Amino acid sequence: MVNVDDIRQAAERLKPWANVTPVMTSRTLDERCGASVFLKCENFQRVGAFKFRGAMNALLQLTDEEKSRGVVTHSSGNHAQALALAGKLLGIPACVVMPRTAPAIKRAATEGYGATIVPCEPTQADREANVARLMAERGYTLIHPFDDLRIIAGQGTAAWELIDQAGPLDVVLCPVGGGGLLSGTSIAVKGRSPQSRVIAAEPLLADDAFRSFHSGSIQPTNDAQTIADGLRTSLGPKTFAVIREKVDEIVTVTEAEIVEAMRFVWERMKIIIEPSSAVPVAPVLLGKLPLKGLRVGIIISGGNVDVEPMFQALAARWL
Amino acid sequence: MVNVDDIRQAAERLKPWANVTPVMTSRTLDERCGASVFLKCENFQRVGAFKFRGAMNALLQLTDEEKSRGVVTHSSGNHAQALALAGKLLGIPACVVMPRTAPAIKRAATEGYGATIVPCEPTQADREANVARLMAERGYTLIHPFDDLRIIAGQGTAAWELIDQAGPLDVVLCPVGGGGLLSGTSIAVKGRSPQSRVIAAEPLLADDAFRSFHSGSIQPTNDAQTIADGLRTSLGPKTFAVIREKVDEIVTVTEAEIVEAMRFVWERMKIIIEPSSAVPVAPVLLGKLPLKGLRVGIIISGGNVDVEPMFQALAARWL
């Protein structure tokens, strides 16, 4: 199990590599919810998402032998790019198994960081078969996107840093997909101040963590097409064990609430966040939690969103 | 004439009111141009633009008599909102003469801060007639959007703060419209280090400052519909006098270059900047200036851009 010292050590280990991302505030947001809200802006992290923390923390702990053989993962999202960049920075070959159906832009971004892409069918079975085959054939080490103790510790460094920057917090919110960020965050927050509350936010359309939390066993994702594309996964055994123990509450939000919160942050705070990041902003902005007078942290997970519609409109009007 | 002490004093005067906006960097941008580039992010300033600095600096220097009578300006852009908020914060009535053709969203934002809007015909003559009438009838003090010494000194505090934050700079770039930001920036930069270069960037479609600079007399704007809507104005006598003396160079950029630079900042730096802010980014990003090995500052003027096309697309796909 990961403990708070693992996170402290991960924070030390990441110092030469990860950005110390800024904490941003909004007078309007504070007025709306009557709290002091601190956004930990991992959209400004390398590769545009907190995922770099976990991937880099994992690769830095490999043996020389493991480093020379290389690593493999399955992801079509931010973890793929994070592992690719971490591998490039450390000279470790990185291989990413990605569904053939993944957007070309994600594939290109991952290849741009120097990783090898192995396409697979968009099924759990084919993905796992490909990963197992590559591990056997090439001796790659698996770096799971979330159900890995080194990943959990790495992701927890965002909340650790937030508390260093913002001071003590009464509540910390973060989104939950596979649970890597949430488990790391809860260990960091409770390790620093056991009385602080950790609240996860999840799309109602993909409320498997909410159902798992309340039923006491891991529930499969409903395969829902939520706009929050980073949060479609279900929990893993390692992340669920932490979440059961340390998380206080999971709130769900609708798709319309996610879009409203995302638009608020874009328009009022002038930062680009991806839909998954808007998920924990929504309950704060929309008054769905009793936060009056409290100091509240939100982990903004990333800013990787396709802005093509905006620039298509600008080009059509102006170019 | 404004001197560097006026800017130092303005910076002091603004301390309780204006945000100390962050300075952001990008590894990719630095690699592309071979320089160390520091973006002074006035998109995070109050009202989302540097204009709050000048408006607040002007209002803070009014006599009690002037404060009680109120202020007037003509603007449909960021200066209108800036004056409205500054007035609200200081309890000074603010009136904005705005063309009937101004977008409803700009009118609403200005009224939202508590200013009174007086609609006029979209002509220079009718705008000036309305301002003159309101000054005579109500005793309002005119706060010109740029051709005013208090405004120039206030806008110069952004570059002043940038040098405090980033250290000495070899070159500072900023956009030029009416010249308030450019003249204030050049006084601040040259006042701190006379050997630093100040370079203005301007849309080729609205190159009146470029033509004025090279002809030695103020040239009218070509009334061009550049995407950089904050930069369509021509210079004023006060701003031109400073610019002639202190600015080293004015570069022009095409509309396509503006959009490319804006997209780069959105996608890679995850911050929302308006087209006018992309104008000085373009020559740096696209290698149009010899900047290798230099320390380069860019004033990012603001982030007020209509994101409706982006959210229309998201809503159509997901809601």
Q: Where are the domains of chain B?
A: 4-49+149-300, 52-142
Q: Is residue B38 within 8 Å of residue B65, measured between CB atoms?
A: no
Q: What is the model's pLDDT at position B10?
A: 98
Which contiguous run of DSSP H or E holds residue B191?
helix B180-192
Q: Do B313 and A309 touch (CB under 8 A)?
A: yes
Give the pTM.
Answer: 0.97
What DSSP character marks residue A66?
Answer: H
How many CB atoms neighbour CB A101 within 10 A? 10
Inter-residue contact B185 to B174 (CB < 8 Å): yes
Residue A223 predicted with pLDDT over 80? no
**Alpha carbons A318 and B275: distance in angstroms, whole number:** 11
Q: Which residue has the higher pLDDT, A103 or B258?
A: B258
User: Is pLDDT at B224 greater than 90 in this prediction?
Assistant: no
Task: Tell me how many degrees the CA angle B64-B79-A310 measures, rounded to the nearest 5.
Answer: 155
pLDDT reported for residue A297: 98
d(CA B228, CA B230): 6
Residues A267, B307: C-beta atoms closer than 8 Å: yes
Q: How far is B91 from chain A (nearest CA, A)?
A: 19
Contacts of B227 in chain A (CB under 8 A): 314, 317-318
pLDDT of the residue at A168: 97
Contact A314 B259 (CB under 8 A): yes
CB-hemisphere CA count at 13 Å for B206? 26
CATH 3.40.50.1100 at A4-48+148-300, yes or no: yes
pLDDT band at A103 (very low <50, low <70, confident <90, very high): confident
Q: Is B190's pLDDT higher than 90? A: yes
| pLDDT the model gives residue A76 | 82
DSSP E strand stretches across chain B: 23-24, 36-41, 71-74, 94-99, 116-120, 141-142, 171-175, 197-203, 249-253, 295-300
Assigned token pair, B171: 């070159």
As a whole number of angstroms, the distance between CA B305 and CA A57 comes to 38
Report residue A165 as tokens: 């920057």
Chain-chain contact of A259 with B313 (C-beta, under 8 angstroms): no
Mean pLDDT (chain A) is 96
Cα–Cα distance, B232 to B227 (Å, whole number):
9
Q: With beta carbons less than 8 A apart as the criterion, state whether B250 and B199 touch.
A: yes
A22 interaction partners in chain B (CB closer than 8 Å): 22
Which chain B residues have a beta carbon less than 8 Å from that of A314?
A: 227, 259, 262, 275, 309
Q: Give the C-alpha distances (Å, rounded to integers) separating B34 from A140, B40, B159, B280, B292.
A: 36, 19, 22, 16, 5
The torsion of the CA quartet B161, B162, B166, B170, rounded to 10 degrees, works out to -130
Shortest Cα–Cα distance, B315 to chain A (Å):
8
Which of A205, A260, A262, A314 has the most B C-beta neighbours within 10 Å, making it the best mutation to test the interface with B?
A314
Q: Do B227 and A307 touch (CB under 8 A)?
A: no
B272 to chain A nearest CA, in Å?
5
Pick the residue from chain A with its C-alpha nearest to B317.
Answer: A227
Specify the CATH class of B52-142 in words: alpha beta
Exposure letters A218-244 (e unless 16+ CB within 10 A, then b): bbebbeeebbbbbbbbbbbebbbbbbe
Name the closest residue on chain A to residue B225, using Cα atoms: A318
Residue B280 has pLDDT above 80, yes or no: yes
What pLDDT score was predicted for residue B240?
98
Q: Does the predicted interface ipTM exceed a cut of 0.90? A: yes
pLDDT bucket at A122, cuts 50 / 70 / 90: confident
pLDDT tens profile A184-198: 999 999 999 999 999
A310–B266 CB contact, under 8 Å: yes
Identify how many contiguous H helices and E strands chain B contains and give both numbers: 14, 10
Which helix (H) or strand (E) element contains residue B5?
A: helix B4-14
**What 8-state DSSP symbol labels residue B311?**
H
Q: Where are the alpha helices (DSSP H) in A140-274?
A: 149-166, 180-192, 208-215, 237-246, 255-264
| Nearest residue of chain B to residue A257 (CA atoms) | B319
Of 3.20.20.410, 3.40.50.1100, 3.20.20.70, 3.90.1150.10, which CATH number belongs to B4-49+149-300? 3.40.50.1100
Residue contact A255–B44, C-beta within 8 A: no
Q: Which residues pair with A134 in a beta bridge?
A: none
- End-to-end, the C-alpha distance of chain A in Å comes to 56
Please tell me what DSSP assigns to residue B220.
Answer: P
SS3 A49: strand
Which residue would you say has higher pLDDT here, B102 or B311? Answer: B311
Give the long-range contacts of residues A126-131, CB within 8 A, separation 24 or more: A127/A74, A127/A97, A127/A99, A128/A74, A130/A74, A130/A97, A131/A72, A131/A73, A131/A74, A131/A97
8 Å CB contact between A268 and A26: yes
Nearest to B318 among A259, A270, A307 (CB): A259
**Count of pairs with CB atoms under 8 A, one residue in A, one in B:** 77
Pairing verdict, β B71-74 and B197-203: unpaired
**Residue A224: pLDDT over 80:** no
Give the pLDDT confidence score for residue A87 in this predicted structure. 98
**Interchain proximity A309–B312, CB inside 8 Å:** yes
Residues in chain B: 319
Report the percent of chain B where pLDDT is more than 70.
Answer: 100
CB contact under 8 A, B227 and A43: no
Distance from CA of B147 to the nearest CA of A (A): 28
Specify whether the CB–CB gap between A37 and A25 falls below 8 A: yes
**pLDDT for position B96:** 97
Phi, psi (rounded to 5 degrees) for B215: -90, -20
Least confident range of A277-291, B103-117, B251-265: B103-117
Residue A222 has pLDDT above 90, yes or no: no
What is the DSSP pairing of strand A116-120 with strand A94-99?
A: parallel
**CA within 13 Å, CB half, A103:** 9
Residue with tokens 């979209």: B122
Cβ separation B314–A309 shorter than 8 A = yes
Q: Given this model, what pLDDT does residue B80 score?
A: 96
Q: Do the first three CATH levels of A4-48+148-300 and A52-142 match, i.e. the same topology?
A: yes
Chain A residues in contact with chain B using a Cβ-Cβ cutoff of 8 Å: 22, 24, 43-44, 48, 227, 255-256, 259, 262-263, 266-267, 269-273, 275, 303, 307, 309-315, 317-319
Contact A267 B314 (CB under 8 A): no
Q: How far is A182 from B125, CA to CA, in rounded Å? A: 61
Which has the closest alpha carbon to B21: A44, A25, A34? A25
Of B259, B270, B319, the CB nearest to A303: B270
Q: Distance (Å, rounded) from C-alpha A272 to C-alpha B272?
A: 6
Which residue among A256, A270, A310 sits closest to B271, beta carbon to beta carbon?
Answer: A270
Q: Which residue of B256, B259, B314 is in closest CB contact with A227?
A: B314
Are the Cβ atoms of B227 and A312 closer than 8 angstroms? no
Residues of A within 8 A of B267 (CB-CB) are 307
Closest chain A residue by Cα to residue B226: A318
Pick the closest to residue A74 from A110, A46, A34, A42 (CA basis). A110
Alpha helices by DSSP H, chain A: 4-14, 27-33, 51-59, 64-69, 78-90, 104-112, 124-138, 149-166, 180-192, 208-215, 237-246, 255-264, 275-285, 308-318
Cβ contact A77:A52 at 8 Å = no
**pLDDT for residue B221:** 85
Please give the residue of chain B at the shortest CA–CA distance from A49: B270
Tell if the CB–CB gap between A314 and B309 is shorter than 8 Å.
yes
Interface residues from chain B to A (CB-CB < 8 Å):
22, 24, 43-44, 48, 227, 255-256, 259, 262-263, 266-267, 269-273, 275, 303, 307, 309-315, 317-319
Give the distance from CA A82 to its chain's centroid. 11
Tell me if B318 and A255 make a contact (CB, 8 A cut-off): yes
Tell me the average pLDDT of chain B.
96
Token pair of A258, please? 């996610």
pLDDT classification of A77: cutoffs 50, 70, 90: confident
CA neighbours closer than 13 Å in the CB half-sphere of residue B41: 20
Please compute the mean of the pLDDT values over residues B226-249 and round it to a whole number.
96
* Per-residue pLDDT at B284 exceeds 80: yes
C-beta atoms of B263 and A311 within 8 A: yes
